[in-house]
Amino acid sequence: MEKVVERFVSYARIDTQSDENSENCPSTGKQLYLAKVLKEEMEGMGMSEVSLDNNGYLTASLPSNSQKQLPVLGLIAHMDTSPDMSGKNVNPQMVHNYDGKDIVLNKSKNVVLSPEDFPDLKKYTGLDLITTDGNTLLGADDKAGIAEILTAIEYIIDNPGIEHGKIRIGFTPDEEIGRGADKFDVYAFGADFAYTVDGGEEGELEYENFNAALAVIELKGRNVHPGTAKDQMINSIHLACEFNSMLPPQARPEHTEGYEGFFHLIDVKGEVEKSTLRYLIRDHDAEKFEEKKILLRNITGFMNKKYGKKRIKLNIKDQYLNMRDKIADHYHIVELAGKAMEQAGVKPLVRPVRGGTDGARLSYMGLPCPNIFTGGHNYHGRFEFIPVRSMINSVKTIINIIKLIPESY
């Protein structure tokens, strides 16, 4: 317990927020600071082939100690935190023996983590929790994954009697802005299959994720003095409101769950002359995913016909696809992770990811890569928390996966 908590808290204090407006890789230089810390730590643990490239991708190996020809296992996590909220001056707080009531994160700002707002809290009554101080996110996504992987590997190193194949570790930058796999060298990594340790609630086991795209709509207006604007002014802000009103209101994140897709309006910028809307398009079903993109194109065409050609400009960029199709032929690795969880006393919660992971793109790059839990909740905001027990059970699950491979091949 002490090891995984100590690691996580120390990593969480390092600001690694990524920046989607940067063209660099990594998008922020501060991610390299954590990468260098982790590189030194892995070298100190005695790992081999420790390498940090100029793009911030950190890899290492634990050589096989088995006489068998075993598949190479990959374990992957990302170093950056969400651009949605500051990762600077993160100050993790320990709540011992949680009493099931409100947790005051920040008294002066009246920031309260309450089971009324977040019912999952009740599941962890009597356990130790790590929370924010109400000012920043916590960073369990995905520094908890890094801490859990390294704690599991340290256990394997300290117990040389445990038979295992070769293990490859990969820590990536910029996952939160959809670029974590951009420069990942699958061939050089050399794993036969891998797991991202980047899930949420204890027990999560995911091999399906959203198909994802980013849509940017630029709306061109015409500014005229309001005193003489009749039949002349075209206010792009009103165009933006009209465009948004033609999307189905039930297809928003706050009204969907499970396999239901959505349009997520993430940014609005507007003046009379020009406005911009940015949407995340998400759906597990490939056909419905394409239908959502068609709807945006149809609305664009309708409004251009109504207000004049080229007044509305739409750009859609695909981001990642559902990894289910690539993992279906390797389903034994999902079953392997489920068995490892059960041996750790954890009930597997096989469910679709309502988001994406590096594993989604890596699966399409030839590395089958399901996702397993870190234990965190309420990612990307000040109400983020993670139960210590869940972190320990994630470590146990990783250790069990390593142990099960020689038994399964």
Alpha carbon of residue 256 to chain centroid = 19
Active site residue 80: yes
* Dihedral sign for Cα atoms in the order 133, 252, 120, 210: negative
Report angle CA 10, 32, 23 to the nearest 5 degrees.
Answer: 130
Q: What share of the chain is helix, strand, coil (3-state, %, to 5)?
A: 35, 25, 40
* HSE of 74, CA atoms in CB hemisphere, 13 A: 30
Q: Name the burial class of residue 408, with classes exposed (0-12), middle (13-18) and buried (19+) by CB atoms within 10 angstroms of its CB.
A: middle
Of 41, 142, 154, 175, which residue is the catalytic one? 175
Compute the distance between CA of residue 80 and CA of residue 87 in angstroms, rounded to an integer: 9
With CA atoms as reference, report the closest residue to 169 among 5, 39, 69, 335: 39
Compute the distance between CA of residue 75 and CA of residue 402 in angstroms, rounded to an integer: 10
Report angle CA 327, 8, 15 to the nearest 5 degrees.
Answer: 95
Hey, what amino acid is at 60? A
Of 80, 141, 174, 206, which residue is the catalytic one? 80
Active site residue 174: no
Q: State the catalytic residues.
A: 80, 175
